[in-house]
Structures are given as structure tokens and as C-alpha cells.
Amino acid sequence: MNKIAYMDYNATAPILPAATQAIVGALKCVGNPSSVHGMGRKARSLMEDARDNVAALVNVRSDWVFFTSGGTEADTLAIKGSGCERILVSAVEHAAILNASKNVEIIDVDENGLVLLEDLETRLKDDPRSTLVSVMAANNETGVIQPVAEIVEIAHRFAAIVHCDAVQAIGKIEFDMQALGCDLISLSAHKMGGPQGIGALVKRPSIKLQALISGGGQERSLRGGTENLIGIVGFGAASKEKTDFNRIKSLRDMLETQIKGLSDEIVIFGEDVARLPNTSCFALEGLMSERQVMALDLAGIMISAGSACSSGKVKASHVLEAMGVGEEYANNAIRVSLGWDSCEEDIEMFVQAYAKLVARVQEKNSKKSDAA
């Protein structure tokens, strides 16, 4: 079988061996975590050990962690459950945030996708309504890292609650919820090598939320329904693993250096600001995103065009649009995201295949120039 280069970790990461092993062990546990008999207590113990691991990942107490079905549910619970009258979100948020409420108010961003702090402050001034500010830790498409601590400082000055979608950041950069001062954060296991279908909302005890799913009182009555023990155990195991992201960053930088050598017209979005070490989003005018995704797929290379949460659709990125990127680049952007199992061979495969696409564009442009 030909080599496959999987380079779409921001969509979902391959499951870590330690998580697989933990899940297999949990499959043998037949107890319900809410049962009081011996097998139930064993299941409860596995679940609480995992909760401890997830809590340690973001430096909080374990009773701050509430398991959900994933990042989207955690985002929705934070926004709808808060009961706040105003919801301020950045223009580059994931669809899970932008679509969590019909009444979101957009905070502008600059050309790198960074929140304009002065716009946030202006929107918070002289408005007595209860407000939740939701800004992601790092963008899923560009990898750009937001100034979370500064956002929290401004928001708290005006008595607003701060939620941070930390789904893409966790496991890739240090994220200390207490040091940053966030009130609520959302996590998802499958972005960091855990299983799909499990995530968490982490909240300070002082923050009161209304449950969206009522039931038998699970997760301290914040999220009803029997807990997904298998997923939770896998999440906990993945939370303990440490990926060498200095190595991953060197691979990402190698890729960017080599593709820039193919054409001076390739644009790398957010290149001049802090980004996740594994993410590169770039474009070349005349090379449509959909065409690239399909051509690279045929070459055994798995990448994406923006977010993977659009039912398989390839469409222009709202993130790049908010950054002021013109259609000639926004329609041509692709994202490469790396992770724990990435290697130099993946980079070599990508660059060889991408070089052919670039050469076709250059040949086409040359013919147009000659004809003119």
C-alpha cells in the first residue's frame, strides 16, 4: 500500500496508542458510574481519574471539569447556559460559537485575525446588560493565538464573563486556565489524540449555568445522561501524553520554507504573529482550494480547506474574510496541520505534490502573459 500522509490534525488527530490502550481496558468495565455496587464504583473511579487528568492539563481542580459530547456541546452550554443578555464573540470564531446563539455580537479582528482590543472595550463600555465574551485561544484555520489574558482583563473590568474555546490549543501550547483568568473553557478530546465524541466544559465554581440536557443528575446536574465512560477514559489518557511540539514546529517551518521557495506569490496567513506550532494556512492566487484538496488526496495527502465542520463542503473561509483577505486568496486557501505521528516524509510528499500544482499555475500564467 502506498504511503499516506495525514496532515489534517486540526480536524481530528489520530488516536494516541495510550488512549487506545486505556479505552480497551475501559471496555471491560461493565459498570454504570452512577451505580453504587462494586462494578459501578470501579467505573466511577475510572471516570474520576480521567477527570483529574483533564483538570491537570489546564491547571484547575477536578470539580471544575464537566464532561460533554465534545467541543460544540461545551461551547453551546457555556453560551446558552450562561443566560447572559449579550454575547460578544470574535469574527474568527468556530461555527460552534457563531451559531450557538441568534444574537451574537461580533468583535472585529485585524489583518492577522487578532481581536481588536479597543473594539472589545468600546462594546463593553456603558452597557449595563449581563455579558459573556467568547474568544478562542487559537484559530482552527490559521493557528493564530489570541491575547487571552488581555481579553480577560478588559472583560472583567466591565464585569463580563469570559469563555474561551480552547479546543485547538490544548496539548499544543501551554494553557493555564487559572493564570489566564478565564471563567469557562471548552475542550475536545479528538483534537489532541483522544477519541471522538467526548469533550468538556471547565468552569469556575462561581459561574452558574443552566443545564441544556436535564436528566438523572449526572455531572453534578449540569449535563444529564449516562456518562460516556469509554470516551472519558480515552480523553483522560490522551491528556497525560506529551507531544514534542518543538519537533512539530520544525516540520511546519520546514514545509513553509520549502513552499515559499516554489513561488514568491504564496501567502501564509498569520505568519508574523504567534501561531500554533503545528498549523499552516496558505494560498496561491489561481489555485482553487477544492482543486488542491482533491489533487492532494489523489496523491495520498490528507489536508483541508479551512474548518472540517461543514458537511464536506469546501467554501471560502469566514476567518480569512474577517481578516480582510480578498477572494483571490480566500478561495484558494488550504490548511496543513501536523501532530504526534507526523514526520519529514510527510513534508517531502506534500512539497513534491504541491510543487506540481504550483508549476501548472505558473505555466498557465506564462501562457497568458505570452498571449498578451
3-state secondary structure 273-332: CCECCCEEEEECCCCCHHHHHHHHHHCCEECECCCCCCCCCCCCCHHHHHCCCCHHHHCC
Q: Please indicate, yes or no, whether residues 76 and 151 belong to a single structural domain of this protein.
A: yes
Query: pLDDT value at position 1?
Result: 46
* pLDDT number for residue 372: 58
Same domain, 106 and 193: yes
Q: How confident is the model at residue 371 (pLDDT cuts 50, 70, 90)?
A: low
- Whether 317 and 199 share a structural domain: no
**C-alpha to C-alpha distance for 299 and 317, rounded to whole angstroms:** 24
Domain match, 36 and 143 both: yes
Within this chain, do residues 304 and 222 fall inside the same structural domain, yes or no? Answer: no
Average pLDDT of the residues in 279-290: 96
Percent of the residues in the chain that have a pLDDT greater than 90, as a whole number: 92
Instruction: Assess whether 263 and 140 both reside in one domain.
Output: no
Strand order in the sheet with 131-134: 65-68, 199-203, 184-188, 161-165, 131-134, 86-90, 104-107
Per-residue confidence (pLDDT) for residue 312, from 0 to 100: 55
Q: Are residues 60 and 187 in the same domain?
A: yes
Prediction pTM value: 0.95
pLDDT digits (tens, 9 = 90+) for 132-160: 999 999 999 999 999 999 999 999 999 99
More confident residue, 80 or 2: 80
The predicted structure's pLDDT at residue 309: 52
Alpha carbon distance, N-terminus to C-terminus of the chain? 46
- CATH number of the structural domain spanning residue 166: 3.40.640.10
Determine which helix (DSSP H) or strand (DSSP E) holds 80, and give its type and residue range: helix 71-82
As a three-state string, the secondary structure of 162-175 is: EEEECCCCECCECC
Catalytic status, residue 84: no
Contact 203, 130 (CB under 8 A): no
Tell whether 169 and 209 lie within a shared domain: yes
Please compute, for residue 316, the number of CA atoms within 13 A of its CA located in the half-sphere on the CB side. 13
- 48 Cβ contact partners less than 8 Å away, ≥ 6 residues apart: 62
* DSSP code, position 115: B
Does 267 lie in the same domain as 236? no
CATH of the domain at 342: 3.90.1150.10
Tell me the average pLDDT across 220-244.
97
Indicate if 152 and 259 belong to the same structural domain.
no
Q: Which domain holds residue 346?
A: 5-13+243-371
Instruction: Indicate the residue among 215, 240, 265 that finishes a domain.
Output: 240
Domain stops at, among 179, 212, 240: 240
Domain shared by 183 and 231, yes or no: yes
Element (H, E) at 202: strand 199-203
Share of residues in the chain with pLDDT > 70 (%): 96
The domain total for the chain is: 2
355 grid coordinates: 510543487
Do residue 150 and residue 286 come from a single domain? Answer: no
Question: Which residue in 85, 93, 132 sits closest to 115, CA to CA?
Answer: 93
Of 29, 281, 309, 343, the catalytic one is: 309
Q: How far apart are CA 10 and CA 337, in angstroms?
A: 6
What single-letter DSSP state applies at residue 138? B
For residue 221, what is the enclosing H or E element?
none
Read off the pLDDT of residues 11-40 as tens digits, 9 standing for 90 and up.
999 999 999 999 999 999 999 999 999 999
Last residue of a domain, one of 196, 225, 240: 240
pLDDT band of residue 366 (cuts 50, 70, 90) is confident
Q: What average pLDDT does this structure show over 229-235?
A: 98
